[in-house]
Structure 1
Amino acid sequence: MTLSLSGWQKRALLILAGIAVLALFALAFTAGRVSAGPSYPDNASADAGFARDMQVHHNQAVEMSMIVRDNTSDETLRSIAYDIALTQQQQAGQMYAWLEEWGLGQSSSRPRMEWMAGSSGEHGGMDMGSGSDAASMLTPDGLMPGMATEAQLDELRAARGEDAERLYLTLMISHHEAGVDMAGAGVETAETKQVRTLATKIQSGQQAEITLMQTMLDAL
């Protein structure tokens, strides 16, 4: 038995077929846009760990620099401290903005320094091979390497003149040395170009500041 379709039925089928074809094109286009969208680092990435830990590290450098700027009259050191504070505050702001863009929290329950376990060799004497325990990279006070203790910060707040200068330079050199090590691990392990670029900038900038501060410390 042959099914005979009237004219309007044939037209309706053609319209339905056209709608189906358009729907398939729209679905393919949408899928393509989704797959081509930006891919952000996840919560466990080295990029996120670097952005979080380096922010904390930078924030203490800003705090120490502003303390000594108020506690010494040496204009050269005041200028260096202010430059460190401005630079590290701006870089911390960059890292804060990255985490916001990536939809990640500014803090995490993940251990400090865990992200560095993916780097090769040693940084600052800390073994960061794949078998490393993140806790072993922290100081006995549970701080990241180079971080001043609260007692050291209190001592810096109370110091004046050359005593403040000597203490600041000593603390900041250690702080920068650890920052250089962290930046080196960031260059090795980060997936995004923006993180690797900033890590490289931190590495070279802080190394130059270490040399300058060591010269000043030796002259005191």
Structure 2
Amino acid sequence: MGNEGDDRDVTAAPPRTPRGVPLPIAAFLVILALVGGFLANRPGHPLDSSADAGFLRDMSAHHAQAVDMAMIAYDGSDESVLKTVSYDIARTQQAQIGRMQGWLVLWGLGARGTQPPMAWMAGHGHGGGGEVPDRMPGLATDEQMDALEAASGVEAEILFLELMIEHHKGGIEMARAAVDTASEDVVVDFARGMVTAQQSEIDLMNDMLVERGAEPVDD
């Protein structure tokens, strides 16, 4: 009985050691941590002088005038379709102002930059071959805004549609420049969507001009 007849080689099991991470995996994790630390400390947003920031600031100002124009038309007209279109423009562009300003805040950038307005468009095939434009494309003058406020009836509706179409055309020019020059995907996608939406509104407003006996605004 017992183990006397058992000729198996019974030896003590090697002492158990803590299960560590294999060296190749450990080295990979160290490299990953270093890369992660670099990315975490790298600037994660556009610079103050970037096309992204310039576009968001200038388009916010551009949209603000469109909101003013649309509300003048909304308050001054009794025609249901024009009131719907003008209110939709005001609501949409005010919401877009909020988004654009929100991105600037997220990136730690101010609503106003150190560069003059429209500087981001210079040198990219926009704004006169490298020169900063004197005015934002499509922006109505003070005299045109005064005329819109003073007009009434169909005359006011036609003037609003004409001014807003020109305003949208300018906005499309700015948005296309942003598609070409911005580096943030959210800004590029936003600008690209703006081109499509505003061109659709231009087509609608040109139809409304024809319905009122006026000539459509050429593209």
| Structure 1 and Structure 2 fold alike (TM over 0.5) | yes
The 5 Å alignment of 1:50-199 reads: 50-120=55-125, 126-127=127-128, 129=129, 132-134=130-132, 137-138=133-134, 143-199=135-191
Local SS of the residue matching 2:122 = helix
State the Cα distance separating 1:118 from its structure 2 match. Answer: 4.5
Given that 1:46 and 1:189 are in contact with CA atoms closer than 8 Å, whether structure 2 keeps it comes out as yes
State the Cα distance separating 1:214 from its structure 2 match. Answer: 1.1
Is 1:217 aligned with 2:209? yes
Cα deviations by residue, 1:117-162 (Å, 9 ceiling, x for unpaired): 2534x5xxx53x4xx110xx22xxxx31211112211211122111
State the Cα distance separating 1:30 from its structure 2 match. Answer: 7.6
Distance 2:38 2:103 in 1: 21
Local SS of the residue matching 1:36 = helix
| Deviating 4+ runs (over 2 angstroms) | 28-38, 117-120
Farther off after superposition, 58-67 or 146-155: 146-155
Cα deviations by residue, 1:137-195 (Å, 9 ceiling, x for unpaired): 22xxxx31211112211211122111110110111010000000100001010000000
Amino acid at match of 2:143: A
Amino acid at match of 2:197: G
Unaligned runs of 5+ in 1: 1-24
Over aligned residue pairs, what C-alpha RMSD do you find? 2.0
Given that 2:137 and 2:174 are in contact with CA atoms closer than 8 Å, whether structure 1 keeps it comes out as no
Given that 2:179 and 2:192 are in contact with CA atoms closer than 8 Å, whether structure 1 keeps it comes out as yes
Amino acid at match of 1:59: A
Given that 1:118 and 1:189 are in contact with CA atoms closer than 8 Å, whether structure 2 keeps it comes out as no
Between structure 1 and structure 2, the one with the greater Rg is: 2
Given that 1:186 and 1:195 are in contact with CA atoms closer than 8 Å, whether structure 2 keeps it comes out as yes
Given that 2:139 and 2:167 are in contact with CA atoms closer than 8 Å, whether structure 1 keeps it comes out as yes
Distance 2:164 2:108 in 1: 32
Given that 1:156 and 1:164 are in contact with CA atoms closer than 8 Å, whether structure 2 keeps it comes out as yes
Amino acid at match of 1:204: T
The structure carrying a bigger helix percent of its residues is 1
Amino acid at match of 1:184: R
Compute the TM-score of the two structures, normalised by the length of structure 1.
0.77
- Identical counterparts, % of pairs: 46
Unaligned runs of 5+ in 2: 1-28, 213-219
What is the aligned partner in structure 2 of residue 35 from structure 1? 39
Local SS of the residue matching 2:183 = coil
Local SS of the residue matching 2:136 = coil
What is the aligned partner in structure 2 of residue 17 from structure 1? none
Amino acid at match of 1:172: M
Distance 1:83 1:151 in 2: 25
